[in-house]
Structure 1
Amino acid sequence: MQATGTLHRDFQISKIDPRLYGSFIEHLGRAVYTGIYEPDHPTADENGMRQDVIDLVRELDVPIVRYPGGNFVSAYNWEDGVGPKDQRPVRLDLAWHSSESNHVGIHEFADWAKAAGTEMMLAVNLGSRGLDQARAFLEYVNHPGGSYWSDLRRSHGREEPWGVKMWCLGNEMDGPWQIGQKTADEYGRLAFETAKAMRAFDKSIELVVCGSSTPRMPTYPAWEATVLDYTYDSVDYISLHMYFDKQQDDTATYLAQTARLDDYIATIAAVIRMTKAKKRSAKDVYISFDEWNVWYHSKEADKKILEGGGGWPHAPALLEDIYNFEDVLQVGCIINTFIRRADVVKVGCLAQLVNVIAPIMTVPGGPAWKQTTYYPYLFASRYGRGTSYQLALDCPGYATDFAAKVDYLDISAVESDADGALTLFIVNRHETEAIDLALSLQGFGDRKVIMDKEIAGHDLAAVNGPDRQSVQPRDGSGVKLERERLSAPIAPLSYRMIRLGK
């Protein structure tokens, strides 16, 4: 099989915001406790944070991490997580039917974020609480001193404010599973007033308003139209969430789901444009895709705890999907979609970072290890920063009940701001056939292959574990460059990254 394409220097999509490769830590399962925080672990630093996890996060070069939720935030009192740990209350978390010790709060998370080389993206509770706690939290976090909340922070040992710039106005407020679910009008009005109050404190902060939790919500996309009608000139981003599952033993349909993702983004981009025109606004609002991942492997195992059958355990193992080789291909296709939509999707958060549907797993008291999906995330974060390009591709494909044609090859292209290298991220969805890719590179000048990595040849069910890394990258081969023309054989069911330097 063959695929041909053209990549032209003049056909840029957008500069990529580095925060496209962000992630998420929620007080859920073992994401925090025995995830990032385990004071008795052999690698624990002076703050009780696992250094082995910090090292893996630094390797990923995660630019921003959303915290503390997620569903958790909709009934969270941020004040519970400040002050002396032995005086912090234990609360029952209704979202995940667990108990919360509050041993990790904003101070501990901020110290972890600094150690991990990432910025914080904080969420405020607009479910059980509202405007007043949001402005108090902002003042506690960002005001230098001389006010009640900032002086309280200083009394807790943090003299200087953290200066957090990105704030989420609640989480998934359209969802019936959410504490404090609201209609679009109720939420839009509350989000507008909260944004107004927060901007009265600091006009430079970036605010994210809740969009639809999934494109399957009955209120989608009218929800976005209503919420943006209230908030368009007060916010900077609208959030979208999407999780990918496998309903049956059908790899082709599973790997085609990014067609739905692309339609989701395109639809909300159109709602944004419509609202901008309606408001006669000069302002642009972008998408923060601040929850996305594969999630289906652990759902049956989690039912007992989530339905209350296990009482109120502290930091139980929840949502601990063990990812396989097939999921590598899915994550690669998802990230490619975001790169190709970088003109409107500016922020992305892989949900989540540690233990909970995560690329990093930990053993309590033992090692931290890389899931199979660690690698496409690593390559995109490391080498997918710069300018994204359109690619005209003529490729064989297939149809599903939701997409008329899905190309077997899924490709994105990024020119690096750091070293000028041109990076191709390629997934071959075909289950049995290699595809010979012939790509014309116009306007990029003479190039040479400086890196070629692939993940291929594994059983679709192959997984990694604390004692084995059976699915990981290896050097690719067969790439040829002649007179601005690239040719490469792309193995069946493979993920490939090819970097072309000058």
Structure 2
Amino acid sequence: MKRHYLNSWTVHSLVVCVALVVSASAWGQAGTGTEYDDAELPVAEAAGDRLVPAELVIREDVVLRPFEARMFGFNWNWFFANPMVVEPETNVLRDDFVEAMRGLSVPLQRMTGTESQYFQWRKATGPYAERQPFSLRPFHGSPAVRVGFGPLEWVRLMRRINPEVELVWCLNLYQDAAEDHADFAELMMYDGVGNPNGGVDWAAVRRNAGIEGPAPIILWELGNELDEPWHQDVIPDVEAYIERCGAAIEAVRSITPGARFAAHAVTAPWSEKKNLKKFGPDGHWKEWHRRVLEELGDEIDYMVFHPYYAGYPIPTVYRFVSDITDDIRRITGSDRIKIYFSEHARWPPRPSDGRPWSAYFHKSHSLEAVLAVSEFINLGHSRNDVAMMTYHILHGGPWRTIDRRPDGEGFFFTGIADLFNLYQSTMSGAVVESSLAGPETDVTSDSLRLSALVTRDDDRSGLTLFVVNRSASSTRRLRLTTLDGPYRLTDRWTIHHEDLDAHNTADDRPLAPRHQAYEEPGVLRSLDVSPQTITVLRLTRDDADAASRTTQR
């Protein structure tokens, strides 16, 4: 490419149609997997050629938070994982899956969502021939099967992919009793002498499976979405949830005293169809987490929230989060308890023309979805209250971060994997303060169209910018102001396509990041940010010789 040293640089940057999905179908038709349906999606903007100015001010000396790999975790799913991860009718890990997964950064993994409340871990542990069949999805009528991919296979798999992996386990509070939790903690964590619970020596079962030390579980999640109506036969209200949480905490800590826990806030509180009677005497969604904090605030480290976006703008999502954070500080007197998004994703809409939902499954990982997830991550990183995220989901369902090729020969990654790898390969150091000025830059407003995230190297040698322009019709002429001197542009990565519906397949990868390095970089003072693009810019602190140059690309 011919180089011109002018006053601005034109790049593709990010457009995001970001929104949160509204509520489930009427309760007579409701069930797991429907609680985020019926979204009223915004009408897409027509493409245009408007040029709108804005200014990005970067304050390198004001550190908001360190870069956290825990913000890029993934959730798992037992039902879809079993035929994908192990050889048929065995508990032997598939080598091709292990090799494929090494192409994805996996710092944090969670097991799992709705299925966790029906998972019978004893029947998925020990020699395969001795395991007893059970249904992984009884709420959908799936038949009983002998499960080859169980908790210990999960630990072995994740350590093969990433020896430094961290795990989150979601306890089955719907079906399991306290003694079940204690036995499971012994299976996964006990490394002492003897058999603390009596009966089966579960630590020996783990060692016999080839796992000598404790599993790398950093957090125990107290159930999953137990405020939902289909759990009311066991968890009729928040008081019943608190009672079960307390028993589980005591049981797990009897084996691993330093265990940390995360309790749930209400699922989909924006829904007008929620059964508010179980949320407390005032019938308000906040009553649930307030009672949890009042009774368990000294025992937990995180409040769990599940935002799915594609109906309401993302600033709306974070207003709910702010409500929870405000109550954490008011009730506990500190901000020690953080927010954990143990599930988040774009929930694909259902076709309105009678076609099955599967016709729109690709919309969970299309360009539109990748842009939405990127915007959500950016705004989360700009806050101190959000500590961890696990994207829903690594495989299966509509989301499919990794999927099997249609011919059954191998696997491929969707654009979500490309996005997560791009973040983790370019972010480092700490998130620093930055602010945008200009139309549609207020991150608290639902009219937000342009946003940015900036990280600084620990040695202050460079910055990385993640710029988000979610307008389909406006190019933003962005003036860059750094308060600690000028920077040179050295690298650029972009994810872009003209079609928001574009998505990776087994044979095509339109959402793969495109990289360009600049061997003779000039000082970057401004840039034009195009619609419908994710742009990552790598800036290196300028020296005296380069201070007089600016760059146009």
TM-score band by shorter chain is: 0.7 to 0.9
- SS of the equivalent of 1:98 reads coil
- Residues 19-75 of structure 1: per-residue CA shift (max 9 Å, x gap): 1111111213x2x034333459xxx9x932353x444543332211001x2111112
Change (3 A) 1:196 1:322: closer
Matched, 1:64 2:108: yes
Q: Quick one: which of 288, 294, 297 aligns to 1:223? A: 288
Query: What residue is the counterpart of 1:409 in the other structure?
Result: 450
Cα distance change, pair 419–11 in 1 and its aligned pair in 2 (3 A): closer
Q: What letter matches 2:219 in structure 1? A: M
Q: Aligned to 1:451, which of 491, 505, 514?
A: 491
**1:198 maps onto 2:247 in alignment:** no
The one of 316, 329, 336 aligned to 1:284? 336
1:161 aligns with 2:161: no
Structure 1 residues 497 and 65, CA, compared in 2 at 3 Å: closer, same or farther?
same
CA, structure 1 residues 386+191, in 2 after alignment: closer, same or farther (shift >3 Å)?
Answer: farther
- Map of 2:439 onto structure 1: 396
Which position in structure 1 is the counterpart of 2:225? Answer: 172
| 1:324 equivalent in alignment to 2:366 | yes
Aligned residue number for residue 7 of structure 1: 58
From 492, 497, 502, give the equivalent of 2:536.
497
1:132-171 equivalent positions in 2, closer than 5 A: 132-144=179-191, 145-147=193-195, 148-171=201-224
Matched, 1:35 2:62: no
Cα deviation 1:356-411 (Å, max 9, x = unaligned):
31322212622311212322222223333431122221121299xx9855232121
Match of 1:427 among 468, 472, 486: 468
Matching of residue 233 in structure 1 with residue 275 in structure 2: no
Q: Partner of 1:60: helix, strand, or coil?
A: coil
Q: Write the deviation string for residues 234-255 of structure 1: whole angstroms up to 9, x where unpaired.
A: 1111111011235xxxxxxxxx
- 2:127 aligned to which of 67, 79, 84: 84
In structure 2, what residue type is equivalent to 1:125?
N
SS of 2:291's equivalent in the other structure is helix
Q: Distance in 1 between matches of 2:263 and 2:208?
A: 32
* 2:502 paired with 1:462: yes
1:243 and 2:308 correspond:
yes
Shift, 1:476, TM fit: 6.3
Tell me if the contact between 2:293 and 2:332 (Cα under 8 Å) persists in the aligned partners: no
Q: Deviations over 1:101-153 (max 9, x none)?
A: 31111121111111121322112110112322111111111112521322343
Does the CA-based 8 Å contact 1:426-1:496 persist in structure 2? yes
Could you tell me how far 1:186 is from its partner in structure 2?
A: 1.2
- Most deviating of 382-391 and 331-340: 382-391
Aligned residue in 2 for 1:261: 317
Deviations 1:413-470, CA, capped at 9 Å, x for gaps: 1224599542111121111221111121112x45322321112242112222111112
Q: Which whole-Å CA distance do the structure 1 matches of 2:517 and 2:527 have between them?
A: 8
Question: 1: distance between equivalents of 2:86 and 2:462?
Answer: 37
| Stretch moving more, 403-412 or 353-362 | 403-412
Asked if the contact 2:348/2:364 (under 8 Å) is kept, the reply is: no
Opposite residue 329 of structure 1, the aligned amino acid is: L
Q: How many residues align?
A: 466
Supply the distance in 1 between the matched residues of 2:297 and 2:262 (Cα, whole angstroms). Answer: 11
Cα distance in 2 for partners of 1:15, 1:369 equals 32
> Which range moves more in the overlay, 211-220 or 117-126?
211-220
- The answer as to 2:401 corresponding to 1:349 is no
Query: 1:298-342, CA deviations, whole angstroms, 9 ceiling, x for partnerless residues?
Result: 78999999xxxxxxxxxx99977663221121111111111112x
Q: Counterpart in 1 of 2:424?
A: 381
Contact 1:74 1:178 in 2 (8 A): no
Report the Cα distance in structure 2 between the residues aligned to 1:318 and 1:86, rounded to whole angstroms.
39
SS of the residue 2:505 aligns to: coil
* Bigger shift: residues 226-235 or 6-15: 6-15
Deviation at residue 205 of structure 1 after TM alignment: 2.1
Q: Which amino acid aligns with 1:94?
A: P
Provide the identity percentage.
21
Confirm or deny: 8 A CA contact 1:395 1:408 kept in the other structure: no
- Tell me if the contact between 1:410 and 1:428 (Cα under 8 Å) persists in the aligned partners: yes
Q: C-alpha distance in 1, partners of 2:119/2:354? A: 22
Q: Which amino acid aligns with 2:380?
A: F
Cα distance change on mapping 1:116 and 1:155 into 2, 3 Å: closer
Alpha-carbon spacing, 1:283–1:370, altered in 2? closer, same or farther (3 Å)? closer
Match of 2:261 in 1: 207
How many angstroms apart in 2 are the aligned matches of 1:300 and 1:112? 40
- 182 and 395 in structure 1: CA distance in 2 versus 1, 3 angstrom threshold: farther
What one-letter code is carried by the residue in structure 2 that aligns with 1:276? Answer: T
Q: Distance in 1 between matches of 2:129 and 2:361?
A: 29
Deviations 1:278-311 (A, max 9, x none): xxxx671111111000122578999999xxxxxx
Is the 8 Å Cα contact of residues 76 and 109 (structure 2) preserved in structure 1? yes
Letter paired with 1:273: R
What letter corresponds to residue 136 of structure 1 in structure 2?
A: D
On the 8 A contact 1:441/1:486 being kept in 2, the answer is no
Q: Does 1:360 align with 2:402?
A: yes
CA distance in 1, matches of 2:416, 2:249: 36
- The gaps in structure 2 that reach 5 residues or longer are 1-51, 196-200, 280-284, 542-553
Structure 1 residue 345, shift from structure 2 partner? 1.0
Shift in alpha-carbon separation, 1:223–1:318, aligned structure 2, 3 A:
farther
Q: Cα RMSD between the aligned structures?
A: 3.3
What one-letter code is carried by the residue in structure 1 that aligns with 2:149? Answer: V
Equivalent in the alignment of 2:40: none
Cα shift at 1:178? 4.1
Indicate the residue corresponding to 1:111 in structure 2: 156
Larger radius of gyration: 2
Q: Quick check: 2:489–2:522 contact (8 Å CA) kept in 1?
A: no
Shift of the 476–198 alpha-carbon distance from structure 1 to 2, 3 Å rule, reads same
- Contact kept in structure 1, 2:105 and 2:420, CA below 8 Å: no
Q: Distance in 1 between matches of 2:508 and 2:269?
A: 37
